[in-house]
């Protein structure tokens, strides 16, 4: 089973604050309030009731207040498509430290988030909220510090065929050299074992100089066509550098991204 480790980093992103609603001078009669849009039908009623969402919405600060929490990701457009549009993770709003399953449902819609078991370490199963569980390209797993209330972001997992973009613009399939460039300098790696190698130390690079309060870790896998001799040589290494010629010879790419607090 693939190891899931968290490595330290911060995220830089800017979420646009919601504009405050403006009302015209009140006429003699009270203006009619706009009808609220109906919530789309859900497929996980037993996990999140409409009353829960309503209470969470009422508890949120009004637009323009100093405590307003900007949304990290806007709702997807209603235009048709295969869902292959890239999405950026910002460690604020829906992906903030204090986020929750309810918050995800508010941002992405209750029919696009479910609570289920996902793969954990050592062939175990762990409970998590899953965004777009039926679409591998938009799938995202979120583990909580409090699984009972499903709140307090612990780890956000990008794996499989997901096209989500992590802080610093990293995506699955990114070459090792590209990640090193984003970091601004070489970084340390663990030995290349059966599950690949993980970033062990960003060496005070740009991955440690971001905003947002979250941390980022990555797992790299060698190219399937890389020589077996090169794989064997790096399998027992205690410490590797991303700039090492022997490491580059494996043509590693990002296979899994973990974002945590």
130 within 8 A of 12, measured Cβ to Cβ: no
Give the CA distances from residue 135 to residues 62, 85, 147, 163, in Å, rounded to whole numbers and listed in that order.
Answer: 33, 12, 24, 11
In a domain, 39, yes or no: no
To the question of pTM greater than 0.75 for the whole model, the response is: no
Specify the pLDDT at position 120.
86
C-alpha 66/C-alpha 94 separation (Å) is: 18
In a domain, 119, yes or no: no
C-alpha 92/C-alpha 72 separation (Å) is: 6
Specify the pLDDT at position 184.
96
- What total number of domains does the chain contain? 1
Where are the strands (E) in 175-214, listed by range? 188-189, 197-201
CA end-to-end distance (rounded Å), the chain = 23
In a domain, 248, yes or no: yes
Sheet containing 125-131: give its strands across. Answer: 113-119, 125-131, 140-146, 151-158, 253-260, 215-221, 197-201, 188-189, 240-241
In a domain, 218, yes or no: yes
Per-residue pLDDT band at 102 (split at 50, 70, 90): very high
User: What number is the average pLDDT over the span 204-219?
Assistant: 87
Specify the pLDDT at position 29.
44
Specify the pLDDT at position 238.
85
Specify the pLDDT at position 146.
97
Q: Give the length of the chain.
A: 261
Q: What percent of the chain has pLDDT over 90?
A: 54
Specify the pLDDT at position 42.
42
5 within 8 A of 215, measured Cβ to Cβ: no
**Is it the case that residue 41 has pLDDT exceeding 50?**
no
Expressed as residue numbers, the domain containing 192 is 173-254
Specify the pLDDT at position 51.
53
Three-state SS at 176: helix
Burial class (CB in 10 A: 0-12, 13-18, 19+), 229: exposed
In a domain, 202, yes or no: yes
Maximum Cα–Cα distance across the chain:
84
Mean pLDDT for all residues in the chain: 76
In a domain, 178, yes or no: yes
Specify the pLDDT at position 94.
94
Range among 80-84, 141-145, 234-238 rated most confident: 141-145
Query: For 119-143, how does the pLDDT look when each residue is reduced to its tens digit (9 = 90+)?
Result: 988 889 999 999 999 999 999 999 9
In a domain, 40, yes or no: no
In a domain, 177, yes or no: yes
Stretch among 72-76, 88-92, 118-122 having the lowest mean pLDDT = 72-76
Report which DSSP code applies to 60. S
User: What number is the average pLDDT over the span 26-48?
Assistant: 44
User: What number is the average pLDDT over the span 149-175?
Assistant: 96
User: What number is the average pLDDT over the span 36-53?
Assistant: 45
Query: For 165-203, how does the pLDDT look when each residue is reduced to its tens digit (9 = 90+)?
Result: 999 999 999 999 999 999 999 999 999 998 999 999 999
């Amino acid at each position: 089973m693939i190891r899931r480790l968290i490595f330290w980093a911060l995220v830089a992103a800017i979420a646009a604050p919601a504009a405050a609603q403006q009302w015209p001078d009140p006429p003699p009669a009270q203006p009619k309030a706009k009808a609220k849009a109906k919530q789309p039908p859900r497929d996980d009623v037993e996990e999140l009731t409409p009353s829960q969402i309503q209470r969470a919405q009422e508890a949120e600060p009004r637009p323009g207040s100093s405590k307003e929490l900007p949304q990290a990701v806007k709702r997807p457009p209603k235009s048709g498509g295969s869902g292959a549009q890239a999405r950026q993770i910002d460690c604020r709003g829906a992906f903030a430290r204090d986020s929750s399953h309810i918050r995800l449902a508010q941002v992405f819609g209750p029919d696009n988030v479910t609570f289920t078991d996902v793969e954990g370490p050592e062939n175990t199963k762990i409970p998590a909220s899953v965004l777009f569980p039926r679409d591998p390209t938009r799938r995202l797993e979120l583990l909580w510090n409090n699984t009972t209330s499903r709140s307090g972001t612990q780890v956000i997992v990008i794996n499989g065929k997901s096209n989500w973009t992590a802080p610093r613009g990293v995506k699955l399939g990114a070459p090792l050299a590209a990640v090193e460039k984003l970091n601004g300098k070489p970084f340390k790696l663990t030995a290349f074992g059966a599950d690949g190698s993980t970033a062990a130390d960003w060496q005070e690079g740009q991955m440690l100089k971001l905003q947002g309060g979250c941390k980022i870790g990555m797992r790299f896998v060698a190219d399937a066509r890389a020589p077996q001799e090169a794989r064997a040589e790096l399998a027992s290494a205690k410490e590797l550098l991303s700039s090492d010629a022997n490491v580059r010879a494996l043509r590693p790419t990002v296979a899994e991204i973990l974002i945590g607090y």
